[in-house]
Amino acid sequence: MTRDELLKAYNDIFVIKHPFVKHKLTSLRDKNTSTREFRMLVEELGTLIGYEATRDLETHDIEIETPLEKAMCPVLKGKKLCIVTIMRAGNGLAEGVLKLSPSARVGHVGLYRDPETKQPVEYYLKMPHSVNERTIIVVDPMLATGNSAIMAIDKMKEMGASDIRFICLFAAPEGIEAFKKAHPDVAMYIGSIDRGLDENAYIRPGVGDAGDRIYGTR
């Protein structure tokens, strides 16, 4: 499916159109952007897109006392958020989302892509308690084939999670289509839907390997 067909087919794919997001995504794409700046941009984008992904969280009123009087004011309802990072590239994005809710729990899913099969292989999984009672935000800068995100969300659902959202910076139409076929109930918050995948399953035009660019590795 094309970008436009995907957006028509699903009403819970949100491409963030804020000018700051567009500007920072362009800076990420630039091959001359330094490791330090790249890392900072990913974190900033995590905060900006995380804001959009959490705008419908439920609140309830509690009584507090201001310096002048008592008042009923809104606070987040229920258990705190759980931000789940698909390691290792997702870690930088998770730090940005954490700025919105520093008390959020953080889960880690370690996956790497087999260079021959292009399929994800799990090597680590660590989650906080009460996953089934939390709003889960899974983060990964890149959604290429979609296989890693699908596997990570499979794990969350196996643990009983039902309120799950997914954040990424760059996505290929092929990955979005596969993701929505596997998890039609999971809303997606995306910085940019790019042209597509090349023969090596890299997003084009993309940014290259996000993990390598965040950490200065090859």
**What integer pLDDT is reported at residue 207 of this predicted model?**
95
Strand 196-197 relative to strand 203-204: parallel, antiparallel, unpaired? antiparallel
Residue 131: DSSP 8-state:
G
**Mean pLDDT, rounded, for 195-200:** 94
The greatest distance separating any two alpha carbons of the chain, rounded to the nearest whole angstrom, comes to 66
Rounded to whole angstroms, the Cα distance separating 84 from 165 reads 10
The runs of H, that is alpha helices, within the chain are 3-9, 19-29, 35-53, 90-98, 147-158, 173-182, 210-215
**Mean pLDDT, rounded, for 127-139:** 93
**What integer pLDDT is reported at residue 191 of this predicted model?**
98
194 close to 206: Cβ distance less than 8 angstroms: yes
Query: Where are the chain's structural domains?
Result: 3-215
Q: What is the phi/psi pair of residue 116, to 5°?
A: -95, -50
Task: Please list, in sequence order, all residues whose beta carbon lies within 8 angstroms of the beta carbon of residue 211, skipping any fewer than 6 positions away.
Answer: 88, 89, 217
Please enumerate, by residue number, every residue annotated as part of a binding site for uracil.
203, 208-210
Residue 132: DSSP 8-state:
G
**What integer pLDDT is reported at residue 1 of this predicted model?**
87
Please enumerate, by residue number, every residue annotated as part of a binding site for 5-phospho-alpha-D-ribose 1-diphosphate.
88, 113, 140-148, 209
Please enumerate, by residue number, every residue annotated as part of a binding site.
88, 113, 140-148, 203, 208-210
Give the pLDDT band (50/70/90) at residue 111.
Answer: confident
Q: Does residue 79 register a pLDDT over 80?
A: no
- Predicted TM-score (pTM) of this structure: 0.93
Q: Which CATH architecture describes the domain 3-215?
A: 3-Layer(aba) Sandwich (3.40)
